[in-house]
Amino acid sequence: MSPNRHLTRGRDLARTAGDHAADMFAPLTLISRGLRRHAGWAKGRWQATPKERRGPTLLLAAAVLVGVFLLPHGPLLAVVALVGSAAWTGREPKAAADPASDPADAKLPALYAALTPYLTSPDDVCPLYRPDGSYQDAFAGWQFDAEGRLAALEIGYPAYFTDTEPGARNRIEQVVQGKAGRAREYRFDWDQECNKLQVTALAPLPQDVPAQTWVTTPGEIVLGFTDSQATQRMIPVVQDGGPGHQPPVIWRTGPRSAEPHLLALGSAGSGTSTLLRTVALQALAHGDLLVIDGAGTGEHACLVNRPGVHTVETSLHGALAALEWAAQETERRLAALNTARYRGEPAPADATRPLWLLLDHPTELTELAQAEGRPDPQELLEVPLRHGRAARVTVVVVDSVEAFDRISPTVRSAARARVVLGEVAGEELGRALGVPLEIAPAAQTPPGRGYARIGAQPPVRLQVPATVDPLDEEAPARQREAVIALLPHRDTRIEAPAPPMPQHQPQVPPAEPAAEGGRVELGKERIG
């Protein structure tokens, strides 16, 4: 017999003997594994038990053991029960914990540890949050998406936490957003009665909705789109993925509106001019426009000399003349409407056709007026703001969020419809919207993303449609063509050219035609 055959036979005999030994000691291995798991469970429960409750717990355990030993065959039954329980518990080896398979075990302990300094007190005899605690004690439920990111979480907190103070709540929201990821927005629903906080990660809003004709009634303006939970209304839209439906943010204007004027604030490049173009294209369908471009960037040059657009002013002198005419037009409309009601006649058409005053960064003109010693353009808005609803005059003011304090108190009090766009801090958001925001903004937001609050309603998320400047060559061609299709065509009438006007003396409509009730058009100023 060859040596190799001897080695192979010996190896097989050794393997067979090992298998027999493993089968012989398998019950002992099973029971020992179960006993170790029982000991680990008991140790964990003992560490989780508060120190003041450990004495009574030991006394109760001792009383149970004494009662068992006093029973007939009690010790034998106790040993059999312990062995059977250990065999059942240790029947399968414990799989190694894989953090990737369960994101809760990898992320929630860090969140629990980060919340512990803010939700614990040294005077609490039974703290819900402690350094050696477990997140299962404080978190009632959680949900992760397919990518392992936190989608929903219910957090319990002690009753002594000051959940009525905005500062304390903001600290907790910042901690949760920091551990869950600042790239997304989160809604925080505080249940102060049950001492629970519901955290929900919000899905991104669609950014590929171009400008188009919306299915609305006269007086309704689509500011953008929001979450489906924020509104019960859906409108058909056409976007890159094809036709569909989206939940809109509707701003209702007119004589029966409780929020007849709009104030929009934003950071640089946030899309406030895009919002103003969105409103302008919808307002031109049923009314006339008067545009004041205080920034002088030429963002609204596409509206120059368009039918229904009285004027587009970029200079201080032109803006003052246009706003003076708007104040006089408001008074004329009020007089015409009162006269028609007194006589029992229908209101004249020139007094009921909506007139829109769109102002982009008027605070820039305010500083210029103060430097030249001229009247503040915002002061000329007092009459349209106070009496605009009855006179069918709507004012839309767009400015920078840093210029909130420079906006006149009349504008801030009358403009009850608010929009804030761009990356704005939480305190500034609450100040601009008028109420604290229950949504934590993302670290980076795309253009046109923000929040809207119509009157006394709670704030909602907002994504403004992609209403780009059609004269901007860097904008996508498809979006530029969509805006051009919505612009009214130029007049085909051939008129004699008007004499050149001095730049320091803008054309002001005479008082006689205004008194006769005819529509007055201001001189058009081209933006070079």
What is the pLDDT at residue 518?
36
On whether both 149 and 229 belong to a single domain, the answer is no
On whether both 280 and 347 belong to a single domain, the answer is yes
Which residues define the annotated binding site? 266-273
Residue where one domain finishes, among candidates 202, 237, 270: 202
Residue 354 lies inside a defined structural domain of this protein = yes
Residue 267 lies inside a defined structural domain of this protein = yes
Q: Is the pTM of this model over 0.85?
A: no
Question: What is the full DSSP assignment across 54-109?
Answer: HHHHHHHHHHHHHHHHHSTTHHHHHHHHHHHHHHHHTSSPPPPP-TTT-HHHHHHH
On whether both 163 and 295 belong to a single domain, the answer is no
What is the pLDDT at residue 353?
93
Residue where one domain finishes, among candidates 202, 236, 255: 202
On whether both 235 and 343 belong to a single domain, the answer is yes
* Domain membership of residue 160 as a residue range: 104-202
On whether both 346 and 249 belong to a single domain, the answer is yes
Residue 18 lies inside a defined structural domain of this protein = no
On whether both 234 and 300 belong to a single domain, the answer is yes
What is the pLDDT at residue 72?
79
Residue 11 lies inside a defined structural domain of this protein = no
Residue 390 lies inside a defined structural domain of this protein = yes
Q: How many domains does the chain fold into?
A: 2
On whether both 446 and 356 belong to a single domain, the answer is yes
Which residues define the annotated binding site for ATP? 266-273
Residue 478 lies inside a defined structural domain of this protein = yes
Residue where one domain finishes, among candidates 202, 229, 254: 202
On whether both 185 and 236 belong to a single domain, the answer is no
On whether both 302 and 175 belong to a single domain, the answer is no
On whether both 233 and 378 belong to a single domain, the answer is yes
How far is Cα 56 from Cα 481, in angstroms, rounded to an integer?
Answer: 79
What is the pLDDT at residue 131?
87
What CATH number did the domain enclosing 468 receive? 3.40.50.300
Residue 212 lies inside a defined structural domain of this protein = no
On whether both 412 and 334 belong to a single domain, the answer is yes
On whether both 338 and 230 belong to a single domain, the answer is yes
The strand pairing partners of 263, in sequence order, are 397, 418
* Structural contact between residues 527 and 305, judged by C-beta atoms closer than 8 angstroms: no
Query: Please, what's the b/e burial string for 179-194 (b: 16 or more CB within 10 A of its CB; e: otherwise)?
Result: bbeeebbbbbebeeee
What is the pLDDT at residue 23?
52
The amino acid at residue 516 is: E
* Structural contact between residues 462 and 226, judged by C-beta atoms closer than 8 angstroms: yes
What is the pLDDT at residue 387?
94
What is the pLDDT at residue 93?
59
Residue 73 lies inside a defined structural domain of this protein = no
What is the pLDDT at residue 76?
78
Nearest to 115 by CA among 199, 44, 192: 199
The series of mean pLDDT values per 10 residues for the chain, 528 residues long, is: 49 52 60 76 70 76 77 76 74 53 84 92 87 88 88 93 90 92 90 93 90 92 92 90 90 91 92 94 93 89 92 93 95 94 91 95 93 92 94 95 93 94 86 88 88 92 94 90 88 39 40 36 39
How far is Cα 449 from Cα 426, in angstroms, rounded to an integer?
Answer: 15
CA 63 to each of CA 55, 77, 157, 258: distance values in angstroms, whole numbers, following the listed order: 12, 17, 35, 72
